[in-house]
Amino acid sequence: MPMKSLRSLLAFLIFLSLLTVSGTHAQGVSVTVPPQITYSDNSGLSFLAIPAKWSVAQKNTYQWFVNGKAVPGANKLAFKATAKQKNQRIQFKEIGSLGTSVSVVGKIGQVIVNTKPSVSIVDASNNKVTVLPGAYSPKSAKVKFQWYKGPIEILGAKSSTYVPAAIDEGFRIYVTAKYSAKGFVDNTSDSGEIIIPVIKRNYVQVWQDEFNLAAGSAPDSAVWSPENGDGSKAAAGGGWGNRERQYYIPTLAKITSAGALQIDATTTGAKEYNCYYKAPCEWVSSKYITKGKLGFKYGRIEARIKGPVGAGTWGAFWMLGADIDERQWPWCGEIDVTELVGKSPNTAYGYLHGLLSGGFGGRGTTVDMPNGFASDYHTYAVDWLPESIDWYVDGVLFGSQQKKDKDWVFDHEFYLVMNLAMGGNLGGSIESDLKQANISFDWIRFSTINGIGEVIKR
């Protein structure tokens, strides 16, 4: 090859090599931390760049850019923008002999977010996730968080940690961080997504009442006690705080020949009692509780129940805080495993009542039951864990609530309640030709969840 042609080829190869290096960095050289833009005072105009960190030392020069154009003479780490440049884009570039690196693009006068917030799982036992806010300037900025599941905002999830609900498992979640500082324009940044693993829940049954006593028997007195009356002598007051129409007596809850506990409500004999509405009672029924005999803290509580028929009926399987005598409702807490209301025969309710929500309808949800709750038995359950409560019907999850504010009063012992109320705030108007109704419990069971949960015997 002629010498002139050889020199031309070598020059071309060197040119290609330089092109490759200037775009990013030479082979074997990497940027471990890109350069960052910080404010050097509170004016929102004075900047100080933090140089990049490289895997190999090199000599570098600097250049500031505003609105994508190099600023003449702005080739030092410090840079002072003008007031006219406020709200314009700013970026810092570092050029070295082995490669280049650039900062994020910020806005002059706005909080700069150099690295996005990042999320990670910190407790595999419950999928607890946490967020680190990333690097931002000025350092005085306050950061607020909001967690999302896909495009959906997770209500109340605004802290730096979040314990996903069972219904979050298998989904992608992320967090939006909002950065605010006095004298600066707010900025927001989204973290990357993280998939919440599905945690296998292992249940070990440790207590049950199968209601296998002799037919005609009352519930086991070692476990259950009747709570009688119309509520007038209780803290809740007449109507049990719900304007209910029944008077509870102990004899209307009996074991059937099929091995179930049936609670009856009837108008027969009701007029023998006087009710809080200053007239003979309209209905009598039964209510039984485990208070003072058996308590529960965390775990799965479930019951197989056939619901009542008729508008005005209000059957329930629920729990109250065992400290109700010291901390009245709703401070003691209430967990409704299920409420079966005759006016809505295809709907089951799952709700909590706490310090904030107690007098405002509670927090929870409902589930549609296409075949209704009264024609056959269905299994209703809650998985009660330190950070969440989940509701199930026939093994299918339909609702979840998380520990997120002062409304969460579900970290102590609770006792069981089963009853059939008539009328009241939720039961509504009673059918004029309805004279009797019943609710049946085939069994009630309690299991630990991955070793969590306890039965407290008094």
Q: How many domains does the chain have?
A: 3
Give me the pLDDT at residue 27, please: 62
Among 63, 86, 109, the domain-final residue is 109
- Out of 94, 244, 302, 334, pick the active-site residue: 334
Q: What is the CA radius of gyration of the chain?
A: 33
307: number of Cβ within 10 Å: 28
Site of tokens 């775990």: 299
Q: How far apart are CA 175 and CA 192, in angstroms?
A: 8
Give the helix/strand (H/E) hosting 360: none
Neighbours of 212 (CB within 10 A): 11
Q: Which two tokens stand for residue 144?
A: 């607020």
Among left, alpha and beta (phi > 0; psi -120 to 50; other), residue 229 is left
Residue type, position 405, single letter: D
pLDDT at 28: 65
Judge if 236 and 189 occupy the same domain.
no
User: Is 1 inside any structural domain?
Assistant: no
Q: Would you give the DSSP letter of residue 21?
A: H
Domain holding 344, by residue range, is: 203-457
- Tokens in use for 445? 């069971």
Per-residue pLDDT 10s for the chain (458 aa) are 444 444 444 444 433 343 333 335 556 678 899 999 999 999 999 999 999 999 888 889 999 999 999 999 999 999 999 999 999 999 999 998 888 999 999 999 999 999 999 999 999 888 999 999 999 999 999 999 999 998 889 988 999 999 888 888 899 999 999 999 999 999 999 999 999 999 899 999 999 999 999 999 999 999 999 999 999 999 889 999 999 999 999 999 999 999 999 999 999 999 999 999 999 999 999 999 999 999 999 999 999 999 999 999 999 999 999 999 999 999 999 999 999 999 999 999 999 999 998 878 899 999 999 999 999 999 999 999 998 899 999 999 999 998 888 899 999 999 999 999 999 999 999 999 999 999 999 999 999 999 999 999 98
pTM, entire model: 0.75
Tell me the CA distances in angstroms from 206 to 299, 446, 452, one per residue in order: 10, 6, 11
Contact 147, 161 (CB under 8 A): no
d(CA 409, CA 329): 11
Q: Say what the pLDDT of residue 420 is.
A: 98
Q: Count other Cβ atoms within 10 Å, centred on residue 285.
A: 28
355 part of a folded domain: yes
CATH of the domain at 442: 2.60.120.200
Q: Which of 157, 177, 195 is the last residue of a domain?
A: 195
The reply to whether 334 belongs to the active site is yes
Quick one: 380 and 347 in the same domain?
Answer: yes
Answer yes or no: 339 catalytic: yes
From the list 339, 413, 431, 454, the catalytic residue is 339
Contact 214, 222 (CB under 8 A): no
Shared-domain flag, residues 244 and 368: yes
Which of 329, 307, 286, 224 minimizes the C-alpha distance to 419? Answer: 286
CATH number for the domain harbouring residue 103 = 2.60.40.2700
